[in-house]
Amino acid sequence: MNRLIPFALLVLLAGCASQSRVQLMGRDSGTQYGGLVQSDGQGTTILSVTIEGINYSGPMIRTSSADSFGFIETHSIGGRRSLPQFGTIHAYGDSTTYKALLNSPDGKGLRCDLASSSGTQGGGVCVDDQSRLFDLIYK
């Protein structure tokens, strides 16, 4: 029975992984390129794209979000006693920004600034070492 516990945990963690398709289009042409955003469900996200036969891959990191956290204190009025009540508030925002720094095996680079409205879809702009701009969307 104890031997099944690690296997059960592995199955549960594997279910948390996700994958989204990526589309890129260069601003200098209408040619489209593809790729993937892959998350292991444990905080690591990798963006991989292929542009003109060159594979780029690297980490995609959350840089900011509209999430907020705060404390609240209330007092009741009336009754025999006025006891303070304390609590916390955590609001999840609707937008998150990301940065991705991708490398190819031959040392070329691609830098991307992305935004997401729901965490599962979004878009942004990438620029390569030759200053070519690409619009990127993922879902």
**What CA–CA distances, in Å, run from 66 to 39, 69, 94, 110, 139?**
21, 10, 6, 26, 20
Residue 73 covered by a domain? no
Phi, psi of 13 (to 5 degrees): -70, -35
pLDDT of residue 8: 41
Exposed/middle/buried for residue 65 (C-beta within 10 Å: 0-12, 13-18, 19+):
middle
Q: What dihedral angle (degrees, nearest 10) is formed by the CA atoms of 90, 91, 95, 99? A: -10
Residue 5 covered by a domain? no
Q: Alpha-carbon distance 29 to 134, whole Å?
A: 10
Residue 88 covered by a domain? no
* CATH number for 109: 2.40.128.120
The string of DSSP codes covering 85-116 is: EEEEEEE--S-EEEEEEEE-TTS-EEEEEEEE
Residue 12 covered by a domain? no
Residue 10 covered by a domain? no
Residue 89 covered by a domain? no
Residue 114 covered by a domain? yes
Partners of residue 132 on adjacent β-strands: none
pLDDT of residue 76: 58
- For 103, the domain range is 17-68+95-138
pLDDT tens track, the chain, 139 positions: 445 444 443 444 444 678 889 999 999 999 999 999 998 878 789 999 999 999 999 999 988 766 566 666 665 566 555 566 667 665 656 678 889 999 999 999 999 999 887 666 889 999 999 999 999 998 8
Please tell me the total count of domains within the chain.
1
Residue 59 covered by a domain? yes
